């Protein structure tokens, strides 16, 4: 018996081994097909036989363990099988809905736990994440992103600096210029954050945003040197929102800058570090929500002057709840 090489075979490996396995699986099929075609008018070809056998096997499966089902019984059981399939589909739908709700609950608990850890280590970073999510959502909406993308951007913004839990406090809060080694350590924050959320499979799109949040529009960023639209749209939005909040907030090593000054800086770097579309959307959002943004900046200044006492974790949980809806 000669077996033609399959179309997908690339010339490597043991084709004879493939042929022997194929022979063992199909050697008896012609015999059964010939006999069945005499007794059963439904069987004209071997494909018809395989289809009947598959349907009989499926019927036996639904009847329970240790059951036998013959092909001539299939017509009699058609209505019963259809009912069973319908009931099973309905059950699976209800089950998936319940699992989806549970997955969201687990996600919320996980995010709150991550934020609590970050809040205790660096209150600034926790507050910063909340602000970035707020700005990023408005930018994504202004740019006409889908609801799924908007949610992913918000989730990624809330978690984009979670990798800082692996950075020593002396580096995060250092007032003097960073050494080359310290800058390299901070450069690993996106990759550390990606590894932290890697086990949360419902955040796969967020992982890509977190990983590429420091890519520059001209290709000079990290970690992959992606350029232009090769950078995920969520990462491009996140970079603008991140920069705006960072520059309008006091840090240990510098004072915050005025809003208009920051806007000019973003505009100057459009096409280089930032996506021009995201910068334009930022300016449009600022024109619409300037009063709200100013209040948020002032609130952040006040918040960071006193111990957080867990308030940021609570606000973070509220932000994640809003992002998931």
With respect to residue 9, please indicate whether it lies within any of the assigned structural domains: no
With respect to residue 97, please indicate whether it lies within any of the assigned structural domains: no
Contact 279, 240 (CB under 8 A): yes
Of residues 282 and 48, which shows the higher confidence score? 282
pLDDT over 70, % of the chain:
69
* pTM > 0.85: no
pLDDT over 90, % of the chain:
34
With respect to residue 2, please indicate whether it lies within any of the assigned structural domains: no
Q: Do 225 and 138 sit in the same domain of this protein?
A: yes
Q: Give the closest residue to 135 by CA, choosing from 234, 245, 18, 274.
A: 245
With respect to residue 98, please indicate whether it lies within any of the assigned structural domains: no
Q: Give the closest residue to 152 by CA, choosing from 89, 200, 191, 102.
A: 200
Q: Do 235 and 295 sit in the same domain of this protein?
A: yes
What's residue 144's pLDDT?
97
How many domains is the chain built from? 2
Distances (CA, A) of 176 to 44, 124, 173, 252, 317: 84, 18, 9, 9, 34
Q: What average pLDDT does the chain have?
A: 77
Name every residue whose Cβ is closer than 8 Å to that of residue 205 and which is 6 or more positions away in sequence. 148, 152, 234
- pLDDT beyond 60 at 267: yes
Among residues 59, 76, 93, the one where a domain terminates is 76
Name every residue whose Cβ is closer than 8 Å to that of residue 16 and which is 6 or more positions away in sequence. none
- pLDDT beyond 60 at 122: yes
With respect to residue 1, please indicate whether it lies within any of the assigned structural domains: no
With respect to residue 3, please indicate whether it lies within any of the assigned structural domains: no
At 31-84, the pLDDT tens digits run 344 444 446 677 777 777 777 787 777 777 766 667 777 766 666 555 454 444
CATH number at residue 119: 1.10.3210.10
Of residues 297 and 186, which shows the higher confidence score? 297
Among residues 76, 95, 127, the one where a domain terminates is 76
Q: Do 308 and 210 sit in the same domain of this protein?
A: yes
SS (H, E, C) 45-59: CHHHHHHHHHHHHHH
What's residue 286's pLDDT?
97
At 145-168, the pLDDT tens digits run 999 899 899 989 988 988 888 888
Q: Do 25 and 112 sit in the same domain of this protein?
A: no
Domain with 186, as residue range(s), is: 107-324
Name every residue whose Cβ is closer than 8 Å to that of residue 208 and which is 6 or more positions away in sequence. 232, 234, 235
Q: Do 58 and 125 sit in the same domain of this protein?
A: no
Please state, in angstroms and rounded to a whole number, the distance separating the CA atoms of residues 167 and 164: 5
At 217-263, the pLDDT tens digits run 999 999 999 999 999 999 999 999 999 999 999 877 788 999 999 99
- pLDDT beyond 50 at 18: no
Q: Do 276 and 214 sit in the same domain of this protein?
A: yes
- Unique residue bearing structure tokens 């507050």: 127
Q: What's the length of the chain?
A: 325
Q: Do 255 and 141 sit in the same domain of this protein?
A: yes
What's residue 165's pLDDT?
81
Q: Do 22 and 163 sit in the same domain of this protein?
A: no
């Amino acid at each position: 018996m000669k077996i033609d090489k399959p179309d997908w075979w690339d010339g490597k490996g043991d084709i004879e081994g493939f042929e022997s396995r194929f022979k063992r699986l199909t050697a008896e099929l012609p015999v059964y097909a010939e006999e069945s075609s005499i007794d059963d008018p439904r069987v004209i070809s071997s494909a018809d036989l395989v289809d009947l056998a598959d349907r009989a096997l499926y019927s036996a499966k639904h009847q329970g363990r240790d059951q036998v089902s013959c092909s001539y019984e299939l017509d009699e059981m058609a209505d019963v099988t259809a009912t069973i399939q319908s009931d099973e589909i309905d059950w699976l739908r209800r089950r998936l809905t319940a699992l989806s709700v549970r997955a969201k609950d687990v996600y919320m608990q996980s995010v709150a736990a991550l934020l609590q850890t970050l809040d205790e280590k660096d209150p600034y970073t926790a507050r910063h994440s909340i602000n970035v999510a707020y700005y990023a959502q408005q930018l994504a909406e202004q740019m006409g992103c889908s609801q799924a993308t908007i949610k992913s951007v918000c989730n990624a913004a809330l978690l984009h600096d979670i990798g800082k839990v692996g950075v020593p406090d002396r580096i995060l809060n250092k007032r003097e210029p960073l050494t080359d080694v310290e800058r390299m350590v901070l450069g690993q924050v996106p990759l550390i954050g990606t590894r932290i959320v890697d086990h949360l499979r419902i955040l796969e799109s967020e992982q890509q945003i977190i990983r590429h949040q420091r890519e520059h529009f001209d290709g000079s960023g990290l970690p992959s040197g992606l350029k232009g639209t090769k950078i995920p749209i969520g990462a491009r939005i996140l970079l603008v929102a991140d920069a705006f909040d960072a520059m309008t907030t006091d840090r240990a090593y510098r004072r915050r800058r005025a809003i208009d000054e920051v806007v000019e800086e973003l505009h100057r770097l459009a096409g280089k570090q930032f996506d021009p579309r995201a910068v334009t959307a930022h300016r449009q959002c600022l024109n619409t929500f300037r009063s709200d943004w100013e209040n948020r900046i002032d609130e952040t200044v006040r918040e960071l002057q006193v111990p957080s006492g867990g308030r940021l974790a609570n606000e973070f949980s509220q932000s994640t709840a809003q992002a998931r809806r």
